[in-house]
Amino acid sequence: MELAFTDHDDLRVIKAADRRIDAAVAIQFKDKMRELTADAPPRILLDLSAVDFLDSSGLGAVVAAMKETGEGSRLELAGLTTKVRKVFTLTRMDSVFTIHDDVASVLAGLADAG
């Protein structure tokens, strides 16, 4: 499970490189996310633009990651592909997470604010 991050001031962008976040890798995803958010950056953006497929295990892992970021940290999502977005919509999780079209628009927002 490949997750790489870049920091932009208070924003940490974590990019999921695996094409599938499913039962085969859900636990590794959770563990890796925990590592990458342990120092509690105030705002975390999970870039899912390379992820083609996510099942209920993957969804549960993303929810777990969100719950683990804890007080003072926000986990947001970006770049949901069609099949991934479908899972969030069906389960109504799209009303729980802040979902951006892409990382670029979030970074542009930072630049405007700064």
Partner 1 sequence: MSFLGKAAGRPIPGRIGNLPSLHLVFPAHTRAVRQALEQVLGALPADQIKDDLRASIELVLAEVLNNIVEHAYGPEGSGVIELEMIACEGGLWFRTLDDGAPLPELPPGTRPDLGGPPAKLPEGGFGWFLIRDLTQGLAYRRRALRNELHLGFRLDGRCPANPFLANDE
Q: Give the interface with partner 1 as residue ranges (CB under 8 A).
A: 20, 22-24, 53, 55-57, 59-61, 63-64, 66-67, 82-83, 86-87, 90-93, 95-96
Q: Which is nearer to partner 1, 6 or 56 (CB)?
A: 56
Instruction: Say whether 75 sits in a helix, a strand or coil.
Output: strand
Minimum distance, C-beta of residue 31 to partner 1, in the bound complex (Å): 14
C-alpha neighbours within 13 Å on the C-beta side of residue 5: 21
34 phi/psi in degrees, rounded to 5: -60, -45
Q: Which is nearer to partner 1, 31 or 55 (CB)?
A: 55
Minimum distance, C-beta of residue 16 to partner 1, in the bound complex (Å): 16
Q: Which is nearer to partner 1, 20 or 100 (CB)?
A: 20
The answer to whether the beta carbons of residues 105 and 74 sit under 8 Å apart is no
User: How many beta carbons lie within 10 A of that of residue 49, not counting itself?
Assistant: 15
